[in-house]
Amino acid sequence: MKTHISVSQCCLLVMMILLIAFLPETLAQKMAVTTSSDKALLHYCKGKDMLQLEKYADARMQFDSALSIDPDFAMACILRAESSDTYDDFFLYSNKGIALVDKLPLSEKNFILYVKANHERNWNKKMEYLTFLLEFYPNDPWFHEMAGDHYFYYLKNYSEALPFYLKAIELGGDKSTVYGKLGANYQGMKEYDKAEEAFLKFIQTYSDEYLPYNEYGKFLLSRGDHDNSVTQFQTALEKDPHITYPYKGIGDNYILMGEYDKARETYQRLYDTSDNSLDKYLAIEFLAYSWLHQGDAGKALVRLNDYERMAIDNNQPVNEIRANFLRGYILCETGNPDEAQKYITKSMAICKEKAVDEEFNKDLQLWVRIMNCNVQLQKGDVITAQKEMAQCEKMKDRDLDYDQINWKNQLCGRMEMQKGNFQQAMSYLLKADQDNPMTMYYKALLYEKMGQNEMADEMKQKIRQVRNFDLYTATAVNLIK
């Protein structure tokens, strides 16, 4: 039996075939990547999966394998940078990937330009490239996750991040790694029941991985549930003994319970267990912060001497800058701004003299200027502080991230406070991060100057109740002891 097809049916059939042929380019589930080797692609895909579960060492091995087969594999370079454990490695691989941009098709080119705009702190350009990727690949959950990350990590705009994370989970199906970020985002929105539900879903989805237990442990820490938080971090270590972050989580619980010796034993275990310098630097930082939180700034500074020595021995100028920056900050906030000035000046000299990535160097110099403004305010020199802030304002080629915006508002508030403009000072402090313990501290000082001692005491009590441990918490707790 013969089948007859009319001319019109034939045209329709051709159009359908053409449409199907072009669908992968317009509505592809995931962006294709350019490589000369299927084997390199396999390593890349494995590495990307491990990176999303924050198994950085395993991811590095996969990306290194991919690049050993195809050295010009641009996307492998970019993700290899994201999994790096040193700044030098990060700059090496990210700059190599960016240098390959002109050899790539349009979609990958936009991805690389997105990464470049992020390095340059150009948020408008960054979102322009990401918007292209979202429109070109609306069904790729990775790009929705990346959009959520921009609002969550860089701007702390939780309401903007939320729909992107939800869409990423919807597109990712049953096996989405985004549940942890969704939980953290709900936590930022103070929707704690929804946050816990997301963390538990993450555990259910990836019960054999360390990351869900680690993220749930951080959530429980923030809620003051120390015993169960420690249990979650211990479970994370059981799932992957080579992962070091849970040690920090356990140590942070001990800090907030006032068990400083146990905390330092745990941070030291993080230092001893880790086989990469990034974790070792973090361990030293938290050992230093533990002493500051306990009220002994001198011992905190001694630990930061170890940090600088390690940086010099390993020829890592970014970490050398950070060592001086941290010492300057602690000295400044504990009443020794003249000594602090020496370390801040040294940080700027290293920025200018030593080989650091150009874009990152701009960011470092901005931070050093912010810190110098802080030093001048501690000295009571508002005029010089204003000049330093003006220098920061001149760096118009870079958008500020959330932490820098917070610092700017804190500093402007303190300038107005010293000039006696209390209402203006409060308007700036209310624009700063209200969950940051140092914002709470400066608001307490302002309330005292305004004669509102009950409000000042309220702020200090809020500092004592902070369920997070970092440099700002340690500093604020030290200042109200």
Mean pLDDT in residue range 445-453: 97
CATH topology of domain 28-136: 1.25.40
C-alpha 278/C-alpha 54 separation (Å) is: 14
Q: Is the pLDDT of residue 396 over 80?
A: no
Mean pLDDT rounded to a whole number for the chain: 91
List, for residues 456-469, the tens digit of each pLDDT value.
999 999 999 999 99
pTM of the complete model: 0.88
Structure token digits, residue 471? 């440099």
C-alpha 445/C-alpha 157 separation (Å) is: 28
Torsion (CA) 217, 221, 227, 233 in degrees, nearest 10: 30
Place of tokens 């010796």: 261
User: Which sign does the torsion angle of CA 86, 92, 98, 104 carry?
Assistant: negative
Whether residue 446 contacts residue 460, with contact meaning beta carbons closer than 8 Å, is answered with no
Domain spanning 404-481, CATH class: mainly alpha
CATH 1.25.40.10 intervals, the chain: 28-136
| Per-residue pLDDT, 263 | 98
Whether residue 311 contacts residue 357, with contact meaning beta carbons closer than 8 Å, is answered with no
- pLDDT band at residue 398 using 50, 70 and 90 as cut-offs: low
Mean pLDDT in residue range 347-364: 83
List, for residues 268-299, the tens digit of each pLDDT value.
999 998 888 889 999 999 999 999 999 999 99
Burial (CB count <10 Å: 0-12, 13-18, 19+), residue 453? exposed
At residue 312, φ and ψ (nearest 5 deg) are: -65, -45
Phi-psi region of 63 (alpha: psi -120 to 50; beta: other; left: phi over 0): alpha
List, for residues 180-194, the tens digit of each pLDDT value.
999 999 999 999 999
